[in-house]
Homo-oligomer: A and B are copies of this chain.
Amino acid sequence: MPAVRVAMAQINPTVGDLAGNSAKIIDFAVRAKAEGANLVLFPELALSGYPIEDLALSKDFLRSSHDALAKLALDLATAGCGEITVVVGYPGFAKKPTSWAIGQNKAAVIRSGTLQSEYAKHHLPNYSVFDEYRVFVPGQDLLTFEIENTKFGVVICEDIWQNGGPVADIAKSGVDLTLVLNGSPFEVTKTDSRLALVQALAKDQSTAVAYVNLVGGQDDLVFDGNSFAVDLTGKEVVRAKQFAEDLVLFDLKTKKELSATSESASQLPEVEQVWNALVLGLGDYVRKNGFKTVVLGLSGGIDSAVCASLAVDALSAKNVFGVGMPSKYSSEHSLTDARELAKNTGLNYSEEPIENVVQAMMTQLPLDGLAAENLQARVRALILMGLSNQDGHLVLTTGNKTELAVGYSTIYGDSVGGFAPIKDVEKGLVWELARYRNSLAKSSGQTPPIPESSITKPPSAELRPGQLDQDSLPDYEVLDRVLELHIEQKLSASEIVAQGFDSGLVESVLKLVRSSEWKRRQGAIGPRITKLAFGRERRMPITNTSN
């Protein structure tokens, strides 16, 4: 039996851009064909982008998707790919709608200019960030097809994560290679769990598996690619890059005999994965929403320094505008650190002192205490939004996950912005990322972007004389651990105290988390990197007197 050559096309589509995504699919199919592929596998909903959320409830959008798919089939043939099989995800109408959903999350098998057959996802995730039971109708049927006496089965993402999925059924019919179309968002440590799951599946069901994932940022999600294939013993045969588009191929002779015909990517260390995820999430948000430039406040602190460096990596220095906005409470090193960051990275830097505007406000409406502190942050927001409106920059807001959790920010002040690059990064990891990025620069002979002083000095909002974060908050090391146990591990106060934390401290932290729900609800989106990010994944009532 001759080998069948399978290509896995790990692409970065844009939600809603049916024409642009089709062009990309054709481009990858043409490249795959040039490398001798018989079959090219694309990720989940590659034609529409993913997730499409309530777009799936739009008849109009589903009609456009069907039209785009028919055109894609013809265009593939015109581009010389009519004789290869293309498997691609797209949203289409369900034959039997429910009373709330009309569409299905489908995989199309295309050949010779037409749709040959299709599959609809059985298991619709409706937890974490996913709302698929809200917007799709579950599929019921199985799909297998043959090329050159090799039998393929098709399933989609969640189908392999739930017990009783369709893989067992298609395996019974003797499938050689199970094609899995995925839209699996990045989470630190998730790479390993995907591989373990697929290996178990391959062994249990006696099938080789090709797992192809989306890559790219979509609002708060970052798809990391990282596609791979295993043989029926679970041995990894080939792996695509993480955080970049890629096309990898392998030959399948029997389900035991798979051999890569392209180079495999190697796994990155965890902190590097996070850095790359954040760069991709930020860059894609900017590009896919039609922005060219970003603006952010540079306080000389670690959060804004890391955000600026991420932006420079994502968009290049010439598209990043940093603004130093000193007040009378700003320390000397605030400005020197901000200037050094600008110099190190080459970003566009300007300074706009806030004192005169603050004074004008204090004359109009005298404020003190917290109200006066917040005023300073809000005058900075006036400046950033003025620059944004004037010059078309997207404003980045630099708050980290720890601050967001406890509400340690000024709403309509430093929280202002369209995108929050480190909103899912706890404070400790912000420092770690800074050190990583600097050491990467050093190891390649470049200037480390982040001033050493921004990393080593004690964090301060500098909204009153001598203020330090730790005047209001527990040590970040303790705070991050308590928050991780509560938010990500979902432990209660008593369960956290049982792990050895002070009960007064735990109660006060959890109270801060509850009472800042309304602020988070009005916050900018930003890339998710943990297994529980604030946003659509944690839907807590604002009005909530539970403790």
Contact = CB atoms under 8 A, between A and B. Distances in A.
B357 A16 contact: no
Contacts of A61: 546
Contact of A542 (B126, B219, B389): B219
A543 B382 contact: no
A461 interface: no
A349 interface: no
Nearest to A356: B360
B412 A542 contact: no
A156 interface: no
A14 interface: yes
Contacts of A493: 60
Contact of A524 (B360, B522, B545): B522
Given A360-B359, A546-B16, A365 B383 contact: yes
A508 interface: no
Given A357-B360, A364-B357, A55 B15 contact: no
Given A16-B546, A219-B541, A375 B382 contact: yes
Interface in A22-64: 51-55, 57-61, 64
A220 B505 CA distance: 32
Contacts of A128: 100
A521 interface: yes
A14 B127 contact: no
A414 B494 CA distance: 42
A390 B367 contact: yes
A222 to B, nearest CB: 12
Nearest to A493: B60
B543 A219 contact: yes
A378 interface: yes
Interface in A317-376: 352-354, 356-357, 359-361, 363-365, 367-371, 374-375
Contact of A545 (B20, B51, B131, B368): B20
B539 A490 contact: no
Nearest to A48: B546
A133 B131 CA distance: 10
A544 B55 contact: yes
Given A60-B492, A418-B518, A518-B418, A539 B131 contact: yes
A101 B101 CA distance: 22
A545 to B, nearest CB: 4
B386 A371 contact: yes
Nearest to A218: B543
A285 interface: yes
A492 B490 CA distance: 42
Contacts of A71: none
Contact of A18 (B20, B52, B546): B546
A385 B364 CA distance: 14
Nearest to A494: B60
A301 interface: no
A17 interface: yes
A20 B540 CA distance: 20
A100 B411 CA distance: 33
A522 to B, nearest CB: 5
Contacts of A490: 57-59
A539 B379 contact: no
A289 interface: yes
Nearest to A18: B546
Given A15-B545, A51-B541, A353-B364, 6 more contacts: A15-B541, A15-B544, A100-B128, A133-B133, A219-B543, A381-B412
25 contacts: A14-B543, A15-B543, A15-B545, A16-B544, A17-B546, A20-B545, A51-B541, A53-B540, A53-B541, A100-B126, A100-B127, A131-B131, A218-B541, A219-B541, A289-B543, A356-B360, A360-B360, A365-B383, A367-B389, A370-B389, A374-B385, A374-B386, A375-B386, A378-B381, A412-B412
Interface of A: 14-18, 20, 51-55, 57-61, 64, 99-101, 126-128, 131, 133-134, 162, 217-219, 284-285, 288-289, 352-354, 356-357, 359-361, 363-365, 367-371, 374-375, 378-379, 381-383, 385-387, 389-390, 411-412, 416, 418, 490, 492-495, 518, 521-525, 536, 538-547
4 residue pairs, one from A and one from B, having the closest CB atoms: A16-B546, A60-B492, A100-B127, A360-B360
